[in-house]
Amino acid sequence: MRVCVPLSMVLCLMLVCGWCVAEQPKQQAPSATSGDVESLKKEFEQMKQQYEQRIRALEEQPAASLPHRATPVGTYGGIMNPDISLIVDVQTLFTDDHDNDNRNNVRVKEGELALQSYLYPGVRGDFIAAFEQDYAGSHVETGVNVEEGYVSFLNLPFGFQAELGRKFMNFGTLNASHPHHWAIAEPPLILENLFGHHPWFDDGAQLSALVPNPWDLYLKTGFGITNGRDPGHAHHNGGDHESETVDWHGHVFLSRSSFDIPVNEETNCIVGYSAAWDEGGNTALHNLDATLNYRWPMTYRKLKWHNELIYADIDDRNVDTVGFFSIVQLTLDKYWETGLRYDWSEYADDDENHAWAAGPFLTYYFTHSMYLRGEYRYTNLPHGDEENAFVIQFCWGLGPHAHRLED
């Protein structure tokens, strides 16, 4: 017992001292914490006042003097990692034209590789290469073209925009867009007769701007100069008729103006005029286009009626070629689209003969970047020749360039 009692007393004293030490900070903590809180409150109020002053100063600053820091719209990769897109257009052609080597064959008609990104705020770069396949007998020929490679300056003074490099020409509406964005599988006859199987593209510079007007309409005009690249060579149009494409002499000047007329909340009409002429004065092209859009309220359903009339004056061939096409496009819902097309065209080297074509098409969109289309076209050719053709088109893509264009 003599040993146990002192040990018990020592243990009790240790417990009491430990409790006292633990309690001491708890009693002193409130005074220290409240002082820190007051100090933080004062610092927060000072920061709040400083930010309010900065916000008022920015609001009073003129918009023209503010630095441009807008985030690019439609870009995913950023400056260091450009947007990369791949589009593959697979087609199967069934035709009674036995001279067409693509007949009854599945082929990758075109594959596009696109690299797109903002190089600087307000400066965008686009590069698009196309891989094309055609049958020559039983042999498959593959060609590679740089379809587009240009830089766009979007925020120039006085509202101007400029494009420098290789680009699809702003001649009409359809030629300026890539074929996988078209509502039809085959190009219109007049574009094919003038420029070949591909849209017209060339190297040069274009300048455009929105024009203020008293009617407060969307009015855009532009002017450009290009090298005058030969768009193609003699091509087969079915039957026994072959023709040459348009022939440029020297540099080519291009101008286009278009304006959007709002009819009502559901309807608008876009009218445009384009002209192209070479420096030698040998060839001049004129294009008048009109597009009517109607949208059913609160639905996916919409109607688009697109028309283009083209006149070509080619002096060294002594021809005045005329052609037009009309496309009626009805979007039924989110997935289905149908329509009709009609083409009429003379040839770039023969204005005594013409061809016309007509037919329906039906498209199913799995997504915005993948669709399946069926198109029938009856073509009436010179010298009594005819062609019945049915195209099955399956187009799919990856990346932002593959997305379906919306009006």
- 23-27, 132-136, 169-173, 367-371, range with the lowest pLDDT: 23-27
Number of domains in the chain: 1
pLDDT at 241: 60
The two tokens of residue 167 are: 């680009």
- Whether 71 maps to a domain, the answer reads no
The more confidently predicted of residues 140 and 166 is 166
- 18-32, 279-293, 346-360, range with the lowest pLDDT: 18-32
pLDDT at 16: 44
- Whether 26 maps to a domain, the answer reads no
- Whether 323 maps to a domain, the answer reads yes
DSSP string, 24-43: HHHHHHHHHHHHHHHHHHHH
pLDDT class of 8 with cuts at 50, 70, 90: very low
With 80 as the cut, is the pLDDT of residue 302 above it?
yes
Calpha distance 210→5 (Å, rounded):
101
pLDDT at 140: 87
Mean pLDDT across 148-154? 97
- Whether 264 maps to a domain, the answer reads yes
Task: Identify which of 20, 16, 14 has the alpha carbon closest to the alpha carbon of residue 6.
Answer: 14
pLDDT class of 328 with cuts at 50, 70, 90: very high
Mean pLDDT across 331-339? 96
Residue-wise pLDDT for 91-102, tens only, equals 999 999 999 999
Calpha distance 150→159 (Å, rounded):
20
The pTM for the full model equals: 0.78
Calpha distance 390→380 (Å, rounded):
15
pLDDT at 13: 45
- Whether 78 maps to a domain, the answer reads no
Residues 103/136, Cβ–Cβ less than 8 Å: no
pLDDT class of 68 with cuts at 50, 70, 90: very low
pLDDT at 306: 98
pLDDT at 45: 82
Calpha distance 13→344 (Å, rounded):
111
Enter the DSSP assignment of 404.
Answer: P
With 90 as the cut, is the pLDDT of residue 237 above it?
no
Among 49-63, 139-153, 228-242, name the most confident range: 139-153
- Whether 355 maps to a domain, the answer reads yes
Mean pLDDT across 123-133? 95
Q: 2 in helix, strand or coil? A: coil
Look up the CATH number of the domain holding residue 283: 2.40.160
- Whether 147 maps to a domain, the answer reads no
With 50 as the cut, is the pLDDT of residue 294 above it?
yes
The more confidently predicted of residues 54 and 270 is 270
The two tokens of residue 341 are: 């097309």
Q: What rounded mean pLDDT belongs to the chain?
A: 86
Mean pLDDT across 7-24? 44
Mean pLDDT across 261-273? 96
Q: Which residue has the tokens 């002192």?
A: 6
- 12-26, 132-146, 253-267, range with the lowest pLDDT: 12-26
Mean pLDDT across 96-118? 93
Residues 284/246, Cβ–Cβ less than 8 Å: no
- Whether 301 maps to a domain, the answer reads yes
Domain extent for 391: 167-402
